[in-house]
Structure 1
């Protein structure tokens, strides 16, 4: 079988990013420069996990049914071509102690559009056109799903919030119902992809969650597109406590069943005061000590946003790291 053609960042690549929460949103912010350029833009697609059962999304899911809209809303805001009052409105969160307290206006807008149109994909498309976004966004499935896990001691965790407090490493990770079908548009985007990027974020509940749908795993394999993994800056208390980069990659291989082609990792040290705060909560920097882990090339770049109060990827630095990694594949 012939090798896939070499990729170049200035080509009009079909790029699919998978994940959820703040991690996928951070990756999409880094990629939208390529999707919004005037010459040969990337055709960018985000595929978002929909197993969230906490916060505003969880309340809407429990009270009204349908998909949890929070991660979809967060990623739509990230894809807006320019910051505007509309994107600020999307992220506005109601205060106080009433029934609306804690709800994001964007979550309510997405749910209302889905109810009016009877179609979550159409609702996302309509809100995208109002916000003027670059790229496309799809939920991985339009079926309400629950993330479940079991650790090595046999303790079960049901729901994304519970999995976030699990004791790694895990023995099993799956979605209920078992027969949940992926969105056809998401499968097609992966089948046509030139490049697949796994976003940073909560390892089990964001990065791997989409890949628990077998059809999405198969689509990545059939496409033969290289798979980049943008590693987290820090471990998380609970979900990845004590897991090094090898542990992260082992989990992606075991549960997501995709072959990672290369890893983009941070080379910046955290400021001492920020590091101390994370360590108080049980977090540690996710450091790549060598050039390869599990025989996967590790590409290290300065990625830390110096202006952010928390450890966050800087969009421009991450964009440059992805472009440079493409030249090394």
Structure 2
């Protein structure tokens, strides 16, 4: 463990990225060049939220049990050395009138491997070998967990889909069972890390959700490594409506019980057409209004992918920003 001092991007850093959904996949894609380089590669570990109860993942969870595979699949795809036909195959989604409609082939493959091996960690490792990925990937727990929340007006919500539509900010947020255990490999990676990154994504149900696993949260609090939050580009209708940068940071620090070392935020303006579309749906840009918020230094860069049809972090720009901030830690 580096203790958070004297870091340099050219060092073989041990880096842990925590989150879920498309946000963690985007962060891992940005970090992949550092983990895949020939000289002094970073030792990259992704820890993935597994509380999804909607779509293909939710259906498989209901029908087959186990943890939802969708976010794991997204992250495996992001970590493939060459995103080609294999990653396309992993993300292929059936479109038909039958029972397979809406299912991703990669979700089915992960469930099949977990069934064959009797072990989700082995299933992920075996599929990683087939895909030739860089880094390591672990679920936050292999116990099926259910998210629960209470808003400021006392209304309660059960399940990720319903929490996503709760009125923010949340007063209470927890995962059941309360004693869900993380994997020892994930805990060890956190305790040995030189740098911990919280991924962008749905504020509560992706970024914070993994940190509701008590032992995992405690490991993050115990490590001496700096903890960076990659801020969202936009608020999310429902989940973070009306929440500014300060509210995002306050929520993470409150529920994660950890002090952030820094936040990396976007300053690039959205194209007018994209901005109108997102505003029509209730989203607004998440823009820092100070160089320090909640006592946390804010590092601002143009991070928007100008070619994407949706608001997304550009992997090269995000990579550069992370490397730049590392030099200050």
Tell me if TM exceeds 0.5. yes
Gaps (5+ residues) in structure 2? none
CA distance, structure 2, for counterparts of residue 135 and residue 267 of structure 1 = 30
Within the alignment, does 1:299 sit opposite 2:299 as a pair?
Answer: yes
Q: List per-residue Cα deviations over 1:215-259 (Å, max 9, x = no partner).
A: 112211222100000000000000000000000011001111111
Distance change in 2, residues 1:314/1:165 (3 Å) = same
| Partner residue, 1:120 | 120
Task: Please give the TM-score of this superposition, normalised by the length of structure 1.
Answer: 0.98
| Partner residue, 2:311 | 311
Ranges of 4+ aligned residues in structure 1 off by more than 2 Å: 2-5
CA distance, structure 1, for counterparts of residue 113 and residue 79 of structure 2 = 19
| Partner residue, 2:259 | 259
CA distance, structure 1, for counterparts of residue 197 and residue 87 of structure 2 = 25
Task: Please give the TM-score of this superposition, normalised by the length of structure 2.
Answer: 0.98
Gaps (5+ residues) in structure 1? none
| Partner residue, 1:39 | 39
Superposed counterparts of 1:82-121, under 5 Å: 82-121=82-121
CA RMSD after TM alignment: 1.0
Superposed counterparts of 1:54-69, under 5 Å: 54-69=54-69
Q: List per-residue Cα deviations over 1:293-322 (Å, max 9, x = no partner).
A: 011110001100011011100000000000
CA distance, structure 2, for counterparts of residue 200 and residue 160 of structure 1 = 17
Is residue 179–residue 214 contact of structure 2 (8 Å, CA) maintained in 1? Answer: no
Which secondary structure does the structure 2 equivalent of 1:45 belong to? strand
| Partner residue, 1:73 | 73
Which secondary structure does the structure 1 equivalent of 2:97 belong to? coil
CA distance, structure 1, for counterparts of residue 152 and residue 220 of structure 2 = 29
CA distance, structure 1, for counterparts of residue 84 and residue 239 of structure 2 = 35
Is residue 3–residue 223 contact of structure 2 (8 Å, CA) maintained in 1? Answer: no
CA distance, structure 2, for counterparts of residue 198 and residue 287 of structure 1 = 18
Which secondary structure does the structure 1 equivalent of 2:327 belong to? helix
CA distance, structure 1, for counterparts of residue 220 and residue 193 of structure 2 = 8
| Partner residue, 1:162 | 162
CA distance, structure 2, for counterparts of residue 153 and residue 166 of structure 1 = 11
CA distance, structure 1, for counterparts of residue 222 and residue 293 of structure 2 = 25
Distance change in 2, residues 1:192/1:130 (3 Å) = same
| Partner residue, 1:242 | 242
Is residue 221–residue 257 contact of structure 2 (8 Å, CA) maintained in 1? Answer: no
Is residue 196–residue 226 contact of structure 2 (8 Å, CA) maintained in 1? Answer: yes
CA distance, structure 1, for counterparts of residue 5 and residue 24 of structure 2 = 26
Within the alignment, does 1:27 sit opposite 2:27 as a pair?
Answer: yes
Which secondary structure does the structure 2 equivalent of 1:47 belong to? strand
CA distance, structure 1, for counterparts of residue 165 and residue 226 of structure 2 = 32
Q: List per-residue Cα deviations over 1:178-213 (Å, max 9, x = no partner).
A: 111111111111011000000000000000011111
CA distance, structure 2, for counterparts of residue 315 and residue 130 of structure 1 = 24
Distance change in 2, residues 1:4/1:201 (3 Å) = closer
Superposed counterparts of 1:114-263, under 5 Å: 114-263=114-263
Q: List per-residue Cα deviations over 1:17-74 (Å, max 9, x = no partner).
A: 0000100000000000000001000000000010000000000000110110000000
Q: List per-residue Cα deviations over 1:129-163 (Å, max 9, x = no partner).
A: 00000000000100000011100111111001111
